[in-house]
Amino acid sequence: MSIKNKIGLVSAAAFAAAAFTAPVAALSLKDKKVTFIVPYKEGGGTDTMARIFQPFLQKYLPGNPTILVLNQPGGAGSKASNKFQREGRTDGTMIIAISSSALVAYTMRAKKVKYDVLSWHPVILIPRGGVMYANPKHTGIIGHGKDVVADIKKLQKAKGLVNGTKNPVDGGLRGTLGYALMGITHDTTFGLSTSKQRKAFHRDEISLNYDATGPYIKKVKKHEKKGTVAPFVAFGYFDSEGKIKRDLTFPNLPTIEEAVTNLNGKPPSGPMWEAFKNFMGIGVNASKAIALPKGTSSEIVAVYQKAMKQIAADSKFQKIAEKRFGKLPIVFGADAKKILKQATTMKPSTRKWMKKFIKDKYDVNI
């Protein structure tokens, strides 16, 4: 199945010709050092993304600058993001990695947020699909999209289900809302990174989990044969018309929207569904991004966009990207900013409902 034009954009390969012909300013970063800020500690998904891009940025940015990945954890990404907003260098020598956790805090207008993502200049956006799974031995589900209604009903009846996440207000909210939309009751264990969630699941310490498509294929799929993992739904992704389509990596898995529709006999609606769509847009279509700071000139932005398109057209990068991020199409420039805006623009009534939901469920005020 072709990924061309799936979100109103052409695929990375189709961008290649334009990337080599588009006029850009004669900027050179020769003998320069570009600081690539990662607002999280080493080893996480955002850090991994940055280190994948590091050698390719050195290759394709004019002058072949040294790219220094700088991890600045704190405040679930807000500490470094706030500093980037205040002090980001606008001469092309500083970029930042954006993740879903930072976007969730921004969308919910968390008190710790002093940054404005929409004032930055995203030069590339890397969507990542997601897969929900459970232990078939403990829950009795079949999985693999064979009978999603029967599987959900079994999960609804299951006792003592637990999932894990870092904190009550992070990218894990799309999972929390997804389970709630399907009527699956569960408790939550906090303080778990995605890798720790995965390990906890395999130790039977949590019974529900979801992973991005790349990590699922690399680290979880092998357990399907052991009978300890059964994927039952995928998040899917938004197309250019705002409709949710099945994940290109897992076309046999129904989306959460499909599952809820089949379960209830009608499409989901209401404030929970509206909130879920925001967090799905954040966690899937806008999962990872790289941006330049506010105030960067259009000439420098164009230079970075050209480099990003060249990277996306690099066959070596494409092989790595598909394994790590899945098959959803990479997005550039103005289109990336449009998606960020759509994902992070939440209706005031939905935000009010969401804050109450988090308070009622976790006794946390945001």
Q: What is the pLDDT of residue 16?
A: 43
**Which tokens sit at 140?**
């009795």
Higher-pLDDT residue of 61 and 4 is 61
Computed over every residue of the chain, the mean pLDDT equals 90
Q: Quick one: pLDDT at residue 4?
A: 36
Range of lowest pLDDT (21-30, 122-131, 333-342) = 21-30
**What are the φ/ψ torsions at residue 244 (nearest 5 degrees)?**
-90, 125
The reported pLDDT for the residue numbered 98 is: 95
Q: Are 273 and 354 in contact (CB under 8 A)?
A: no
Q: What is the pLDDT of residue 15?
A: 42
CATH numeric code, 12-127+286-348: 3.40.190.150
pLDDT above 70 as % of the chain: 93
pLDDT score for 76: 81
Q: Is the predicted pLDDT of residue 25 greater than 60, yes or no?
A: no
Residue 24 in this model has a pLDDT that exceeds 60? no
**Mean local confidence (pLDDT), 341-366:** 91
Better-scored residue on pLDDT, 360 or 6: 360
Q: For the whole prediction, is pTM greater than 0.85?
A: no
Grade residue 323 by pLDDT with cuts at 50, 70 and 90: confident
Query: Per-domain residue ranges for the chain?
Result: 12-127+286-348, 130-282
Is 359's pLDDT higher than 60?
yes
324 vs 136: which has the higher pLDDT: 136
pLDDT of res. 211: 92
Confidence of residue 177 (pLDDT cuts 50, 70, 90): very high
Query: Considering only CA atoms, which of 175, 125, 360 is closest in space to residue 276?
Result: 175
- Please give the pLDDT value at position 75: 85
pLDDT of residue 111 exceeding 60: yes
Domains 12-127+286-348 and 130-282 fall in the same CATH topology: yes
Of residues 103, 130, 78, the one with CA closest to residue 346: 103
The arrangement of strands across the sheet holding 121-126 comes to 66-71, 33-38, 94-99, 288-292, 121-126, 331-332
Question: Does residue 187 surpass a pLDDT of 60?
Answer: yes
What's the N-to-C CA distance of the chain in angstroms? 42
Average pLDDT over residues 287-294: 96
Mean pLDDT of 221-241: 93
Question: Mean of the pLDDT values across residues 184-200?
Answer: 91
Mean pLDDT of 251-256: 96
- Looking only at the bridges linking them, the beta strands covering 331-332 and 121-126 are antiparallel
The SS3 call for residue 306 is helix
Q: Over 70: is that where the pLDDT of 3 sits?
A: no
Which among 343, 321, 334 has a CA at the least distance from the CA of 3? 321
Residues of the chain above pLDDT 90, percent: 77
CATH superfamily of 130-282: Periplasmic binding protein-like II (3.40.190.10)
Whether 112 shows a pLDDT value over 80: the answer reads: yes
Instruction: Note whether 156 and 184 are within 8 A (CB).
Output: yes
Q: To 5 degrees, how large is the angle CA 48–CA 290–CA 27?
A: 120
User: Average pLDDT of 78-86?
Assistant: 96
Which pLDDT does position 317 carry in this prediction? Answer: 96
* Average pLDDT over every residue of 147-152: 97
